[in-house]
């Protein structure tokens, strides 16, 4: 199976890295993914449907290294791009209701729950509260 990637948008900087939105074509279907990169480091996050198609976590897929190298070749070098970008404004990519949310006490890390992309999309689509 082959996965092809193209750059959609340089979203901005995040924690010393550059965040990029990419499109992936896997088995004839498109999905979006994000890449964080800095110098020689690159991290790829894909939609769960891609991992379901390949039957593995993306990091365990036999073509993962080739995919990363292919993506890395298409990216503007981090040293050139970093100073051109503003920090990522996540509010630009997430449109929440007019509701205001407050954090009234500190949260212990053990109380946090990681959500996959599919769950996040469902919650966003239904505007459900966590």
pLDDT tens for the 130 residues of the chain, in order: 889 999 999 999 998 999 999 999 998 899 999 999 998 789 999 999 899 999 989 999 999 999 999 999 999 999 999 999 999 887 766 655 555 555 555 666 666 666 677 777 777 677 645 4
pLDDT for the residue numbered 101: 56
pLDDT for the residue numbered 108: 65
Domain around 114: 90-126
pLDDT for the residue numbered 51: 93
Residues 73 and 24 in one domain: yes
Question: What backbone torsions phi and psi does residue 22 show, to the nearest 5 degrees?
Answer: -125, 160
Residues 79 and 111 in one domain: no
pLDDT for the residue numbered 74: 94
Residues 65 and 35 in one domain: yes
pLDDT for the residue numbered 130: 47
Q: Which two tokens stand for residue 8?
A: 């959609």
> What CA–CA distance (Å, rounded) separates 64 from 13?
24
Q: How many domains does the chain have?
A: 2
Using DSSP's 3-state secondary structure scheme, residue 79 falls into helix
Residues 70 and 112 in one domain: no
pLDDT for the residue numbered 97: 56
């Amino acid at each position: 199976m082959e996965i092809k990637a193209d750059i959609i948008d340089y979203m901005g900087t995040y924690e010393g890295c550059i965040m990029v939105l990419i499109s992936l074509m896997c088995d004839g279907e498109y999905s979006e993914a994000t890449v964080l990169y800095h110098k020689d480091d690159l991290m790829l996050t894909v939609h769960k449907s891609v991992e379901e198609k390949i039957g593995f976590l993306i990091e365990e897929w036999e073509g993962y290294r080739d995919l990363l190298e292919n993506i890395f070749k298409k990216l503007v070098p981090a040293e050139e791009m970093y100073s051109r970008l503003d920090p990522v404004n996540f509010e630009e990519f997430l449109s929440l209701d007019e509701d205001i949310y407050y954090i009234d006490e500190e949260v212990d890390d053990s109380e946090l729950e990681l959500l996959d992309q599919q769950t996040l999309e469902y919650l966003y689509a239904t505007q459900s509260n966590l």
